[in-house]
Structure 1
């Protein structure tokens, strides 16, 4: 993550905490970045050098009328004025991390062959919460290539309990036996 993204994210985070609007600002900032992510042509338009900043800001404001938080709208205008709009996704990621730290949350992703049932998902969240001493937000993704079991990603840690990994480990052990 760039220093620019960290600084801009910290500025928005400080305002959100100071104004006691962290959830509202996070929600609106996420809505805006989701729009830019899903509408590539819109993002390309915002980065087009042939449009002047005033025109871009007008288009941006009309497109984001649904946002309720004025701080987010002002923040996006500042990014446009400072020619930092291309950094918005990195800024959002840095902002999201600051929010999670502030709320003592950790995001986890679990890969399984079939969707986790609710009971198992809750049990996994509770076990991860104990292990990391944080509230866990768990996202389940389907990946048939793991064959069975689960692979859990929490931050930069990986907990691999997949059948694919177990078979790979067994193969290494057999190959090591052959060498001796």
Structure 2
């Protein structure tokens, strides 16, 4: 069986191209993030897996859950997904859409963990340095992890830059153990 992300890719690409064409990337990103989070909920997953409910009814449950009026284009997209029995792919579709948007806007989200709270100036300096290196606008999400002892660990997707003291000690221990 194909991986969910592989099945989600053509839907995400199609909806992204349509959103781009209508200059609605931001609103679609927000809408897909909402329905993606909803579909990732354990109770909703159980409903989507229920063979006793029609696919049409499953889509209607999304419409009923929306606090405000759901845009017609999103309703139609959810109906297409329901027709193809792909509503469960909404979290992956949302993730892929966000990836396509980041590519379009040449941005990258990076999680930065440090042993101590970074000042706004340090955050700005790090973001600027990473932006120059990656040739993209860098959006930092910071967290404090006292176990690092010192230094920094930067994560973005499958890229990890470990410049922490904990990381250096682990490398030394491994080298000494070899």
Q: TM-score, normalised by structure 2?
A: 0.87
How far 1:73 moved relative to its partner?
2.5
Alignment pair present for 1:74 and 2:73: no
Match of 1:132?
134
Match of 1:167?
169
Describe the shift of the 1:79–1:126 C-alpha distance in structure 2 as closer, same or farther (beyond 3 A).
Answer: same
List alignment gaps of at least 5 residues for structure 1. Answer: none
Match of 1:95?
97
Match of 1:158?
160
Match of 1:41?
43
Q: How many residues align?
A: 175
1:24–1:69 contact (8 Å) kept in structure 2: no
How far 1:115 moved relative to its partner?
3.4
Q: Which runs of 4+ in 1 moved over 6 A?
A: none
Post-superposition CA distance 1:7-35 (Å, at most 9, x none): 11101101101111011111111122123
How far 1:147 moved relative to its partner?
2.3
**C-alpha RMSD over aligned residues:** 2.0
1:143 pairs, out of 126, 133, 145, with: 145
Post-superposition CA distance 1:66-90 (Å, at most 9, x none): 2653322321221111101122222
